Amino acid sequence: MIGKVLNNRYELLEKIGTGGMAVVYLAQDKLLSREVAVKILQPQFADDVAAVERFRHEAQAVASFSHQNIVNIYDIAKDGDFQYIIMEHVEGQNLKEKVKQSGKLPLEEAVKIAQEVCQALITAHRNNIVHCDIKPHNILLTSEGKAKVTDFGIAQAITSATVVQTESIVGSAHYLSPEQAKGSKVTMRSDIYSLGIVLYELVTAEVPFKGENSVSVALKHIEQEPTFPQEINPALPQQLADIILKAIAKDPAERYNSAVEMLKDLREVSYQLDLQQETANQKTMVISKQEEQETKVISKADRRGVNKQEVIKIDSGGSKEMSTEKDKEPNKNSKRSSKKKVIAGLGIILVLFLAVVGLGYYLLDRYMAVDDVEVPNLRGEHVDLAREQLEELGLNLEVYYESYSNEIAEDHIISQSPEPNRMVKENRVISVVTSKGAQMVEAPDLVGSTLREARVELNRLNLEVGELDYEYSDQIPEDEIISQDPEAEEEVKMDTEVDLVISQGKEPEQVIVPEVVGLRQEEAEQKLQDQNLIIGRVIERESLNYRQGRVIAQDPEIGEELTEGATVDLIVSSGIRNVEGAEVKTSEVRTTIQPGPDREVRIVVEDNNGRRVVYEEDHQAGDVISEEVITVGSARIRVYFDGNVVYERTV
């Protein structure tokens, strides 16, 4: 492939990466004379419609917007059998490579990277794109250290009509959210979870969940709580640990509502880390100044050099006269007097300086000292009431962002930064995210769609599939939707459940269950299949009356009415029960019903297995009865008409 030119424009220079579906090459764009990255779908996927769709979806997902922390998509094209995407070429390494190389990152760097990924997610989410695969491998670091998110190959467009809903679990096991592991609906909070896992790894050099395979790791995301990051990195501030644990909460409702909220908290941590660094730098500066003021020993040579310093005099005529200290011999008393004056002057200056400093500290403490205030819990409060509450405490309110919410009423507070119960200085600004109320959408018209098509459409509009009922219909084909609630075009809140009634097609014909007792199993199964009935459970059991392989009983019984396709269970003889090992005999009982009224005919056997009725039916005059009777050991056979013995035989 090296040296190949795609569409007479992109010359492939070298391979720079390989993934599960695609290979990435560094290429030269001959038209614009610039280096680009070319991502080519691997040949084995060229005929896979789903793979091609997913590959093209990456370009479509991000081509409509750009951001400094997202790798730009320039174009998508095809050259013969080659499907490829043209992307911005980022010189540097991915975040996974950096962690492997350096271990855990300095806190300031880790927080900076997390902030930049947050900013990328904010842009994607505002364009209704969920990345679905945030992991260190998909975060590139430029040579300047800037983070850029790439690989939107499995992103889901949550409001795009072209979204393809997949029932498979997609995403890298160590970073995927519990809802992805369950195959449930993916939301913006899924990306927040994955970013929380990435941040966990950046500050500990470990992922929270490990396992022998992807399935075991996925189950841990669902069921297992992570090790507290501070147990791995004791230097981690509590505030940063809280951000990580909130982002990776199992329940999406317990995570950040948006990447905006997470970014606010990360900026707060970044501010605190910078403050700590400034304090440390100030301490270093004070030590350095003290070192500069230490007494130094001056050598004799140094003193001689000082005594020999030249003094330049300028007379009134402007001429210069040069002399040395030796030429000038001042009066010793005058010299001592000057020295005293200097010392006295310095003393006065020192006293005045101390007085000014003391007065400054007094005024600062008296008039300018700022009290600490505990931040109240504003969640759920109306923004105007919250502002009044903060003003009473000497704090200020800033609405940082507005977001739709089904749970929080309009103009009420969804979240805040700093968090409740934190101690802050008076006049501090408390940033809040307020609710714009529930976002309303029109229920789509799903009648006539398949369930799969309905799921895609509802997901596009952030609606849920509700209860599913199934009914027979002569007009609506099988698997198509008959009706829905709420109805089409009705205004509903996002996340509303839409109940569906689905067609099972035409109602099957009704059939009468035939009698199969006494038949061989193969004969019974064929007879049931001829009636479009399905063989259900087949249980083997010892019999008193039927030899091995014969049907002892059936469920449902003869004459019941079933729909075509219903099941019938059979009990089949595994052989004649013979506890004592006596001889098993077969006898034929044959009789004819004489003229007269209808009669109840019963055949009763008494043998080693006890007394039992082996035949019982009503007959008309002229009917001929021929029944095979099986006995074990010594036996007596009796035939009864209407309860009276008409025939008896000993076997």
Q: Are 59 and 100 in the same domain? A: no
Q: Tell me, what's the pLDDT at 462?
A: 80
Rounded to the nearest angstrom, the gap between the alpha carbon of residue 436 and the centroid of all alpha carbons in its chain is 25
Q: What share of the chain is helix, strand, coil (3-state, %, to 5)?
A: 30, 30, 35
Q: Among 411, 393, 405, 401, which Cα is nearest to 431's?
A: 401
d(CA 164, CA 460): 10
Q: Tell me, what's the pLDDT at 360?
A: 63
The SS3 assignment for 570 reads strand
d(CA 618, CA 78): 81
**CA torsion angle 129 135 136 140 (round to 10):** -20
Q: Are 11 and 80 in the same domain? A: yes
d(CA 203, CA 105): 6
Q: Are 112 and 214 in the same domain? A: yes
Q: Tell me, what's the pLDDT at 520?
A: 92
What residue type is 162 in one-letter code? T
Q: What is the CATH number of the domain that holds 50?
A: 3.30.200.20
User: CA end-to-end span of the chain, whole Å?
Assistant: 92
> What is the length of the chain?
651
Q: Tell me, what's the pLDDT at 223?
A: 86
Query: Cβ(138)–Cβ(151) under 8 Å?
Result: yes
Apex CA 25: angle with CA 20 and CA 26, to 5°? Answer: 150
Confidence of residue 191 (pLDDT cuts 50, 70, 90): very high
d(CA 420, CA 409): 20
The SS3 assignment for 211 reads coil
- DSSP annotation of 634 reads S
- DSSP annotation of 43 reads G
Domain end (from 88, 104, 125): 88
Q: Tell me, what's the pLDDT at 368?
A: 53
Query: Cβ(52)–Cβ(40) under 8 Å?
Result: no
Q: Among 252, 241, 152, 240, which Cα is nearest to 193's?
A: 252
Query: Does 335 reside within a domain?
Result: no
Q: Are 622 and 538 in the same domain? A: no
Q: Among 619, 586, 587, which Cα is nearest to 602's?
A: 619
Tokens standing for 348?
């006065």
Just list the catalytic residues: 133
Name the average pLDDT for the chain: 82
pTM: 0.48
Query: Does 356 reside within a domain?
Result: no
What residue type is 302 in one-letter code? D
Apex CA 621: angle with CA 619 and CA 626, to 5°? Answer: 55
Query: Does 643 reside within a domain?
Result: yes
Q: Among 250, 265, 270, which Cα is nearest to 420's?
A: 265
What residue type is 15 in one-letter code? K
DSSP 147-186: EEE---TT-EETT-TT-----S--S-TTT--HHHHHT---
Tokens standing for 472?
């027979």
Domain end (from 273, 304, 332): 273
**293 has pLDDT over 50:** no
Give the C-alpha distances (Å, rounded to integers) separating 69 from 117, 124, 191, 570. Answer: 7, 11, 15, 67
Q: Are 103 and 122 in the same domain? A: yes
DSSP 270-287: HHHHHHHHHHHHHHHHHH
Confidence of residue 52 (pLDDT cuts 50, 70, 90): confident
**651 has pLDDT over 50:** yes
Q: Are 147 and 119 in the same domain? A: yes
Give the C-alpha distances (Å, rounded to integers) separating 388 from 233, 376, 395, 457. Answer: 41, 12, 9, 44
DSSP 408-459: SPTTBEEEEESPTT-EEETTPEEEEEEE--PPEEEPP--TT-BHHHHHHHHH
Beta bridge partners of 28: 11, 35
Tokens standing for 346?
């310095």
Query: Does 343 reside within a domain?
Result: no
Tokens standing for 402?
């507005």
d(CA 604, CA 191): 77
Q: Are 125 and 251 in the same domain? A: yes
Q: Tell me, what's the pLDDT at 281?
A: 62
Query: Does 640 reside within a domain?
Result: yes
Q: Are 127 and 231 in the same domain? A: yes
Confidence of residue 549 (pLDDT cuts 50, 70, 90): very high
d(CA 120, CA 386): 31
Tokens standing for 211?
């396992």
**284 has pLDDT over 90:** no
Q: Among 145, 245, 141, which Cα is nearest to 197's?
A: 245
**451 has pLDDT over 60:** yes
Confidence of residue 610 (pLDDT cuts 50, 70, 90): confident
Give the residue, 160 or 232, on which the prediction is more confident: 232
Query: Does 440 reside within a domain?
Result: no
Domain end (from 222, 252, 273): 273
Non-local CB neighbours of 291 within 8 Å, separated by 6+ positions: none
How many C-beta neighbours within 10 Å does residue 159 have? Answer: 13
**304 has pLDDT over 70:** no
Total structural domains in the chain? 6
Q: What is the CATH number of the domain that holds 427?
A: 3.30.10.20
Query: Average pLDDT of 150-163?
Result: 51
Query: Does 352 reside within a domain?
Result: no
Q: Are 128 and 205 in the same domain? A: yes
Q: Are 127 and 227 in the same domain? A: yes
Q: Are 180 and 243 in the same domain? A: yes
Q: Among 31, 69, 73, 43, which Cα is nearest to 56's?
A: 73
**216 has pLDDT over 90:** no
Residue 210 structural domain: 92-273
Range in 381-385, 404-408, 491-495, 633-637 the model is least confident about: 404-408
Q: What is the CATH number of the domain that holds 613?
A: 2.60.40.2560
Q: Are 243 and 155 in the same domain? A: yes
Residue-wise pLDDT for 461-494, tens only, equals 888 899 999 998 988 998 899 999 999 999 998 8
Query: Does 295 reside within a domain?
Result: no
Q: What is the CATH number of the domain that holds 105?
A: 1.10.510.10
**H or E stretch covering 460:** helix 451-460
Q: Tell me, what's the pLDDT at 358?
A: 66
d(CA 421, CA 419): 7
